[in-house]
Amino acid sequence: MAEQRVTRRLAAVLAADVAGYTRLMEADEETTLAAWWAARKDVIDPTIAAHRGRIVKLTGDGFLAEFATATEAVTCAVAMQTVLVATHADTPEDRRFAFRMGINLGEIVDDEEDIYGDGVNIAARIEWAAEPGGIWISANIHEQVHKKLDIPFQDMGEQVMKNVSTPVRTYRVVLDRESHESPSGKTVPVAAAIWRMPRVLLVPFRHLGNDGNTGVLAAGVTETLAAALARFEEFQLIDPGTVETLPEHG
């Protein structure tokens, strides 16, 4: 039997669940399940993939995902919530399908099947504090992103959380469908503001000859460049396959 590898690393962890899921299932099981699968297929899975994250665990009413950078985690959460909230905006509040999301930056333990540690536990606690349709982040996430993303954050102060020895300072991402004023003085929707971050499109090198070894070399150079560029949080690296899904803005 192969030995299981256990590694430790720093990661941005996003925890999410559906608010009032048990109540929704009791009221209308079929509709609730349909909404959950539609959210997965149409919004959650493709958006996380587009932001180079991965879903680590799925629960009956939520998911746990990890990202290499805080910026990717926050922009992904905003993109998901913007669509998910708009999708169910006309549903009566007591029947509304709404996610709560929490994001934390911390050390995690990865055993190739699941992730553990304080980085995960605190993300889950922050998510439980968030309002339906909302995103709350830890102070260490805020420190990484508040100067890079043109979106507002509301300081929610220190939160005492279950099984966490010290209070955790949290911030709420302001995306209640209101607009905010950008540094230029122009009022823009929050969902569009995140895309003011510079973006770089990496187009793979093409091998035009018949030498297979050269083709392998071209692919290797592309992968090396992508790995190097992904380390920078000053801009977002765009996968060519996701270009058509990016929001348009002038």
Please give the pLDDT value at position 177.
47
Please give the pLDDT value at position 159.
80
Please give the pLDDT value at position 4.
65
Please give the pLDDT value at position 183.
37
Please give the pLDDT value at position 244.
38
- Rounded to whole angstroms, how far apart are CA atoms 131 and 172? 9
Residue boundaries of the structural domains of the chain? 7-195, 198-245
Please give the pLDDT value at position 232.
57
Per-run averaged pLDDT (10 residues), the chain, 250 residues = 71 94 93 93 94 90 93 95 90 88 89 77 91 94 92 88 80 68 39 47 67 67 68 54 40
Please give the pLDDT value at position 141.
96
Please give the pLDDT value at position 50.
93
For residue 7, count other CB atoms closer than 10 A to its CB: 10
Note the pTM of the prediction, 2 decimals: 0.69
- Rounded to whole angstroms, how far apart are CA atoms 19 and 236? 31
Q: Are strands 54-58 and 62-67 parallel, antiparallel or unpaired?
A: antiparallel
Please give the pLDDT value at position 69.
94
Please give the pLDDT value at position 217.
73
Structure tokens at 173: 């991402």
Please give the pLDDT value at position 17.
94
- Rounded to whole angstroms, how far apart are CA atoms 239 and 226? 9
Backbone angles phi, psi at 164, to 5 degrees: -115, 120
Give me the CATH code for the 7-195 domain, please. Answer: 3.30.70.1230
- Rounded to whole angstroms, how far apart are CA atoms 216 and 218? 5
